[in-house]
């Protein structure tokens, strides 16, 4: 005994979900003041960078990296800071005073600027992230 199969001919095949469904950038945000919300990649990329940033000539204890941590950069304006999606510094201990996690990174106190800084762009905040919008 065979099971009958029903097929419905389609003149135009349906679009794939990638082509037909809106993205988070196409839909309005719950918060009108927040033009860009983190997407899946904004959560995964800093983790990937954290796990792979291992400069070959440095001991792991002298490599510090952080995601979304305040980075204070101007001694003349101590309240000015950036909060990059991720940054890495070589030549400073991973832990503050050998045992405490860092709550911020103050360049003039550490004496070492970040080796690399990563800011992930999203369509809603691209101009601001690039410093093109005040």
Q: Note the pLDDT tens digit of each residue in 2-58.
A: 666 666 665 676 666 566 655 555 655 555 555 555 566 777 888 899 899 999 999
- The two beta strands, 71-72 and 105-106, are parallel
**Could you tell me the two tokens for 50?**
């954290």
Q: Cα separation of 111 and 129, whole Å?
A: 26
Residue burial 89-112, b: 16+ Cβ < 10 Å; e: rest? bbebbbeeeeeeebeebeeeebee
pLDDT for the residue 66: 93
* Strongest mean pLDDT among 11-15, 18-22, 74-78, 98-102: 74-78
The answer to whether the beta carbons of residues 33 and 65 sit under 8 Å apart is: no
Q: What is the pLDDT of residue 18?
A: 62
Q: Higher model confidence: residue 133 or residue 104? A: 104
Question: Residue 100: which pLDDT band, with cuts at 50, 70 and 90?
Answer: confident
């Amino acid at each position: 005994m065979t099971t009958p199969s029903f097929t419905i001919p389609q003149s135009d095949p349906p679009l794939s979900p990638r082509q037909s469904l809106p993205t988070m950038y196409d839909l309005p945000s719950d918060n009108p003041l927040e033009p860009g919300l983190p997407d899946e990649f904004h959560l995964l990329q800093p983790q990937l960078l954290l796990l792979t940033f291992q400069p070959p000539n440095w001991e792991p204890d002298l490599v510090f990296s952080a995601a979304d941590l305040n980075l204070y950069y101007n001694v003349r304006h101590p309240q000015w800071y950036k909060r990059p999606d991720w940054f890495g510094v070589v030549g400073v201990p991973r832990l503050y005073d050998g045992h405490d996690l860092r709550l911020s990174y103050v360049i003039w106190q550490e004496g070492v600027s970040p080796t690399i800084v990563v800011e992930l762009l999203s369509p809603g905040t691209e101009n601001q992230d690039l410093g093109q919008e005040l």
